[in-house]
Structure 1
Amino acid sequence: MNDSKTQLQHDILTYILSTNGIVHEPELLDVYAQLKKKELNEANVLKLQTKLDRLIALINESLHSMDYKIEKYRQYTPMALRTISSASIGSTIANDSTNDGSSTRDAIDLKKSNLFYVYTNLKLTQSSKLATFYKPTELEFVKYVFKKLMEPNELSSIKDLNLSNDKSVSYKQYIDKIIRLDHNNEEDGTSSIGSGTYTSFNKGSTSLIVGFRNSDMNVDSLKLSDLENILTRLCENKWLTQYGDGSYSLYIRSLVELKDYIKCFDNDDGSSETERSEEREGTEGEGEELNGNICNICQKIVYLGGIECSNCNSFYLDIDCLKQFLNRCHSSDQSVICSYCKHEFNDVNDIIYIL
């Protein structure tokens, strides 16, 4: 392997590590283009993406012996639902990412991307990954936070949705675009948020801190400032993300590295996640109930954007799989029905939005 390619691998890996192990695809593509001294534009973006993925594959070959891997993870964020912008070549990139890992730079318009590169440890158990970051006493609060952030909030009417809540509005509008719902006002032609019912998982800091201090998991040695600091560090380490309204939710790193760990919070029957995983194999489209909010097709946790059947509350689809599901139904002229309870999806009242 020539020295220039080795150096390129080193530079890309160094950049990923400098971002705490999670980089939005357009951001890393911009870095790659700068290192290659290539102009990043719509004409060559697909070619550069292919070359970047080949480079990541070579990096993974080197990382394999150390039990690390760079994984690509598919997850829309509110920022990714809008047109992604990239900095002009030669700009400083390290300080231009938002809290959800998306680029804030504006020069070349790239296609929307729902892909992230995530640096993962394959050797540590999922619970021990957290233990490397937090003291035993702190872990009690961390576990409480993860448990609460896996509990859905009460159902609410879309009409009560705060239009300033960028996260929820972005997901709602994108889901409606997929299922071809138009909310234009017939009288004046203006757009509205529409109707329906939604749930979400994000919680405010007060709810998390007060709830912990009143729970059996409370550790007296942890002060209020300690708990606030832990929440800040969870965001800095990209286990959580904080939205503009101050609420917190699990972030991509948790959904990738701790997926089995957090799924267990839905497990009330005493079985292990491995056993539950085996039970789920081959259930796509067969109408078998999946435990927790697990996508019926890809078996990811449906957490940041998706739908749930309002009739049985057992059928879930994330945004991408919702597109696949509807395309499959339309291409075969089948009715759009829940794969579990066979309830037909005719309008927004037949689904619950996960925002």
Structure 2
Amino acid sequence: MIEEAAKKELSTDVKRKLLLQYILRSRGILHENVLLTCLLQLEQVDVTEEGFDEDIWLERLSHYISEINLKLSKIHYKVIKISHGMGKNYVTQKVMSNFDNEWNLRPSSRFYVYVNLNSTKETELATTLRPSEIEFVKWTIEKLATLKGISQSSSSENCPVELEIDRILKDWYERTEHETVRLPYRTTYTFGSMHLMAYTEFSSSEVEKLLSKLCELKWLYRTDKGSYGLDLKLLLEMEEYLLETHSMTTCESCQRIVNQGVLCTGCVANQTVDDDETELTAWHVDCFEYHLKHISQNCNKCESDILKAGAYLV
């Protein structure tokens, strides 16, 4: 679609429509660099040419999205830019693995997401699911919005979150001339597929099929070990519900829900059974890197040393 259109002289309005169509054809969520590449093709711009300024084109892309949102506001939809909790390094590598050509753009953790501004939990689910499936999804969300127990971390785990945090720690320790040490703890919001198969209203094959559908919709993601977690699109579309109903933790830096990154166990230790108002402190991967390198190695709330009280949130 984009390649064919790029061969013609297009009006600004047509370019806006094509960019929106490309987002919609990608399940309503698209990585910033992919959408920027589409815009550059429509504008017939070569990123390898001398004088190419990525910042100018990112600003132009944001301007296009703003104009798109003016049109969408009439039907109560919006394209929102949001960063993925796994950080720019991992996200860019993951997205690039789906393309043959090498990118000449900076790593980015940002995605553009098409959302319904008027949707509630029920209306959002009802657009694509049957009533019986909606009940399963609500049950699954409850499981995946609940923080599991904290355990000792192990170097044998090496899941993507841990690898990214370890990369950040290694760089920080090298800069401070200290011996690299891993975070001591580990916790997760994810839930194993076998536990989700325990849903009594569906057979195992029906549950498996529905989980695959939810992953295709970008509402859930599946880990290499077969566990499931809440994906970026659902975290954004149901943010208010997840915060009000399930009190999911928000990032200390960007205030968005964080289900992958680093959690301060010092705050967890200070939380009592009767004190539901105590907020936990957590960071997305990139937010943790910024906090550690530019703010402090201590938690802002409980003042614990994150390097001694931090938990991989995987």
> What is the TM-score when the length of structure 2 is the normalising length?
0.81
Distance 2:89 2:69 in 1: 29
- Over 3 Å counting, the alpha-carbon distance change for 1:124 and 1:258 in structure 2 is same
Distance 2:18 2:243 in 1: 35
After TM superposition, the structure 1 = structure 2 runs for residues 1-355 of structure 1, keeping only pairs within 5 Å, are: 4-41=11-48, 43-77=52-86, 80-82=88-90, 84=92, 103-163=98-158, 165=159, 167-176=160-169, 180-182=172-174, 194-210=182-198, 212-213=199-200, 219=201, 222-267=202-247, 292-310=248-266, 311-312=269-270, 314-326=280-292, 329=295, 336-343=297-304, 345=305, 348-355=307-314
In the TM superposition, residue 264 of structure 1 has moved relative to its aligned partner by 3.6
- Over 3 Å counting, the alpha-carbon distance change for 1:82 and 1:340 in structure 2 is closer
Distance 2:298 2:157 in 1: 30
In the TM superposition, residue 295 of structure 1 has moved relative to its aligned partner by 2.4
Which structure 2 residue ranges, 5 or more long, are not aligned? 1-8, 272-279
- Residues 159-192 of structure 1, C-alpha deviations (whole Å, 9 max, x = no match): 25423x3x233332244257x2359xx9xxxx98
Distance 1:29 1:102 in 2: 17
- Residues 191-215 of structure 1, C-alpha deviations (whole Å, 9 max, x = no match): 98835111122222112112x23xx
CA contact (8 A) 2:126 2:134 kept: yes
Q: Output the aligned Cα RMSD.
A: 3.0
Distance 1:101 1:70 in 2: 22
Aligned residue identity for 2:262: G
- Over 3 Å counting, the alpha-carbon distance change for 1:247 and 1:352 in structure 2 is same
Distance 2:214 2:53 in 1: 37
- Over 3 Å counting, the alpha-carbon distance change for 1:324 and 1:108 in structure 2 is closer
Aligned residue identity for 1:131: A
Which structure 1 residue ranges, 5 or more long, are not aligned? 86-97, 214-218, 268-291, 331-335
CA contact (8 A) 2:85 2:258 kept: no
Distance 2:63 2:234 in 1: 26
Aligned residue identity for 1:68: Y
- Residues 207-249 of structure 1, C-alpha deviations (whole Å, 9 max, x = no match): 2112x23xxxxx3xx3222211110110111111122222211
Aligned to 2:80, what secondary structure does the other structure show? strand
In the TM superposition, residue 300 of structure 1 has moved relative to its aligned partner by 1.6
CA contact (8 A) 1:309 1:316 kept: no
Aligned to 2:47, what secondary structure does the other structure show? coil
Aligned residue identity for 1:348: L
Q: Percent identity?
A: 27
Distance 2:115 2:45 in 1: 29
CA contact (8 A) 1:198 1:352 kept: yes
Aligned residues: 292
Higher RCO (CA-CA < 8 Å; seq separation 6+): 2
- Over 3 Å counting, the alpha-carbon distance change for 1:174 and 1:62 in structure 2 is farther
Aligned to 1:154, what secondary structure does the other structure show? coil
More helix, by proportion: 2
- Over 3 Å counting, the alpha-carbon distance change for 1:102 and 1:15 in structure 2 is farther
CA contact (8 A) 2:165 2:285 kept: no
Aligned to 1:63, what secondary structure does the other structure show? helix
Distance 2:166 2:48 in 1: 28
